[in-house]
Structure 1
């Protein structure tokens, strides 16, 4: 399993994967060095994440290989279908999975998403439009949704 680190606007990300695909992208703390040379198998993931954060990529094209139960993988696959700049509710997600009663299970699987940003769990919101349930913190969820918004919030105090 290869590992690389990437500095993002939201913190340091750790990317793991092999020839079968990306298995994990997560935010980490600590003092891991950002190494200029990345494992070749992760170079495309690093490049695409950099493009996403600089605003030039709206869709990822990477082989993914997340580890989880069959139900979790089904949820993560459905999350990957949410378009850039769009959101759905947890209820919408459970309906897309074919079982509106599975809302809590779908929310739990969403919370266990091992591939941050690439599988866009941040695009799932509460039925009333509230930002709820984000493992990375609601401030990061808000940042990601604003980053993807077609109409960015303007600052009253430009730099």
Structure 2
């Protein structure tokens, strides 16, 4: 028996943020995800963007810092791309583009969380200790995972409803 992850088995919600329709909520999620991707994207070019990791990794090789910044920038650019696909999928009723966003957002959240947990371990266990920075990174990881989970549930609800309506066109 094959064990395959399917997004169709996730729980569904009726509305986004308890106040707006799924399509409008999905468009807001696409816009928010795109802005988050733009927030971290300057790190690919090694420019000092919104997130500067120099103070955290100052005592380590610049190769480590460069690798983390480039990885964070690359997944952020990918998030921008899949957010554009989500916007297109929500506006044009294309469920496969919505599912691409779901898997991409999951990969983004796991990647960013792992990188930030590694940086938090540097903050906690490597002198000079910076407990505040490590704590903030851990809080960011928790918020990132919770927000991504909610986004995936809302987007999945729209995708499932579009698939249901497509299979039952006589209802429309």
TM-score, reference length from structure 2: 0.27
More strand as a share of residues = 1
More helix as a share of residues = 2
Bigger-Rg structure (1/2) = 2
TM-score, reference length from structure 1: 0.28
